[in-house]
Amino acid sequence: MMSSRSRILGRIRHNLGRGPLSAEKAAELKTRIEEHRPNLVPKRTEISPAAQVDLFQAKAEALGATVTRLSSLDAVPEAVSRYLSDHNLATKIKMSPEAALDALPFDQTPMLDITRGAATAEDDVSLTPAFAGIAETGTLCLASGPDTPSTLNFLPENHIVLLRRSQIIGTMEESWARLRAKYGAGNLPRTLNLISGPSRTADIEQTLIMGAHGPRRLHILIVDDAEKD
């Protein structure tokens, strides 16, 4: 019996009125993939790096995220603490087990109860690093890995993201370039999340309600790092 696979491929070719592609045509398509040329990219982000940061913030805020700018990484623990108290949240966070987060001076905030690891249903607040921030639409790009479990992006009701200024880029295409540089062409981490604002639904009489299944609140800490000025 013919397998479904050959039946489907056979039918596609038959209905397109041809056999398998010629070696030449196949090579051309392979090159097309390997070159991964951008299509039309909106001009919106052809602006200075500083303006891109502003655009990112404006777009993220318009999506319902909140943004705090910090002048250095040392200010992060204090900013996290303040966020929790501002929103009457318990002083408890689940954090990505990432070296750079571990290196933050959390000794300044001894009240803060920090655990590390993947999210569980009990976690209310998470703190994770970002891979990139896309200014075009105020979108965060988060990549999963051993030290960045993706469940932290979804299970807790409150998600705090640490984004370095140097990670803010113009477009999605620039994040693809950075991902290829880190993971190798043709590879992606297991889960890549593009996140544009907090979770929402309009499924009950088209009324917009925040916090459907993912985080109800998304807070972004943009930290100035010297590399981009």
Partner 1 sequence: MQVTARRFKKNAHGALQDDNIQKAFSKVKGGFPIARAKAAGELPEFDALRDQARDLKNHILDNLDYYLEYFEEQVLLQGGKVHWCSSYADARAAVLEICRAAEAKTVTKGKSMITEEMALNDHLAANGIEPIETDLGEYIIQLAHEYPSHIIAPALHKTKDQVSDLFHQHHEKYGFSERLTDPQALVNEARRILRDKYVAADVGITGANFLIAETGSTVIVTNEGNGDLTQSLPKTHIAVSSIEKVVPTLEDASLFLRLLARSATGQEMSVYTTFSTGPRRTDDIDGPANFHVVLVDSGRSDLLGTNKQDLLRCLKCGACMNHCPVYQAVGGHSYGWVYPGPIGAALNPHMVGLEEARHLPSASTFCGRCEEVCPVRIPLPKIMRHWREEAFQAQVTPKPERWGIGLWAFFAKRPALYRPLTRFAARSLKIMGGRKGVIRRLPLLKGWTDVRDFPAPQGKTFMEQWKKQQRESR
Residues from 179 through 218 that contact partner 1 (CB under 8 A): 179, 186-207, 209, 211-215
Q: Is 9 one of the binding residues for partner 1 (CB under 8 A)?
A: yes
Site for partner 1 in 94-133 (CB under 8 A): 97, 117-119, 121
* Contact residues for 135 (Cβ-Cβ < 8 A; gap 6+): 45, 52, 53, 55, 56, 59, 168, 169, 170, 171
Closer residue to partner 1, CB minimum distance, 57 or 139: 139
To partner 1, the closest distance from the beta carbon of 173 in angstroms equals: 6
Q: Is 24 one of the binding residues for partner 1 (CB under 8 A)?
A: no
**Among residues 57, 81, 109, 137, the one that binds partner 1 under rule CB under 8 A:** 137
- 119: DSSP letter: -
To partner 1, the closest distance from the beta carbon of 77 in angstroms equals: 23
User: String of b and e for 65-98 (b: at least 16 CB within 10 Å)?
Assistant: bbbbebeebebbbebbbebbeeeeeeeebbbbbb
Q: Is 151 one of the binding residues for partner 1 (CB under 8 A)?
A: yes
**Among residues 173, 224, 225, 228, the one that binds partner 1 under rule CB under 8 A:** 173
Q: Is 21 one of the binding residues for partner 1 (CB under 8 A)?
A: yes
Which amino acid is it at 179?
Answer: L
Site for partner 1 in 29-68 (CB under 8 A): 29-30, 32-33, 36-44, 59, 63
To partner 1, the closest distance from the beta carbon of 43 in angstroms equals: 7
Gap between the terminal Cα atoms of the chain = 64
To partner 1, the closest distance from the beta carbon of 222 in angstroms equals: 19
Name which of 199, 191, 99, 186 is nearest 145 in CA terms: 191
Closer residue to partner 1, CB minimum distance, 51 or 62: 62
Given a contact cutoff of 8 angstroms between Cβ atoms, the answer to whether 148 and 100 are in contact is no
Name which of 100, 99, 93 is nearest 115 in CA terms: 93
